[in-house]
Amino acid sequence: MKTKNIIITTVATLLFLSCSTNPFTGKQTMAFVSNDQLFPAALQQYNQVLSENKVITGTPASKMITRVGQRIAIAAERWLNANGYEGYLKDYVWEYSLIDSETVNAWCMPGGKIAFYTGILPVAENETAIAAIMGHEVAHALANHGQQRMSAAYIQQGVAVAGNVLLEGDENIDIYNQAYGIASNVGGMLPFSRAHETEADKIGLYLMAIAGYNPNEAAKLWERMEAKSGGQAPPEFLSTHPANQSRIDELNKLAPQAIAEAKNFGVTTFRPLGKY
Distance CA 138, CA 99 (A): 17
**Cα–Cα nearest to 241, from 276, 189, 205:** 189
Residue 73's pLDDT is 97
Overall average pLDDT of the 46-67 stretch:
96
CB of 132 within 8 A of CB of 68?
no
Structural domain contains residue 23: yes
Q: Does pLDDT of 5 surpass 60?
A: no
Residue in 52, 77, 127, 137 annotated catalytic = 137
Mean pLDDT score across all residues of the chain: 80
Structural domain contains residue 274: no
Residue 184's pLDDT is 43
Q: Is 95 a catalytic residue?
A: no
- Domain containing 209 equals 2-263
Q: Please give the tally of structural domains in the chain.
A: 1
The CA distances from residue 86 to 72, 79, 90, 96, in Å, are: 16, 9, 9, 23
Structural domain contains residue 268: no
Structural domain contains residue 128: yes
Structural domain contains residue 53: yes
Structural domain contains residue 271: no
Structural domain contains residue 168: yes
Overall average pLDDT of the 188-216 stretch:
83
Residue 10's pLDDT is 45
Q: Over the stretch 137-184, which tens digit does the pLDDT of each residue have?
A: 999 889 886 666 665 555 556 565 565 666 666 666 666 556 544 454
More reliable by pLDDT, 178 or 234: 178
**Cα–Cα nearest to 73, from 133, 139, 23:** 139
Q: 152: which residues sit within 8 A by CB, 6+ positions away?
A: 30, 188, 189, 192
**Cα–Cα nearest to 252, from 229, 211, 226, 223:** 223
Q: Over the stretch 16-52, which tens digit does the pLDDT of each residue have?
A: 445 677 787 777 766 567 778 888 888 999 999 999 9
Share of the chain above pLDDT 90, in %: 52
Structural domain contains residue 136: yes
- pTM value is 0.78
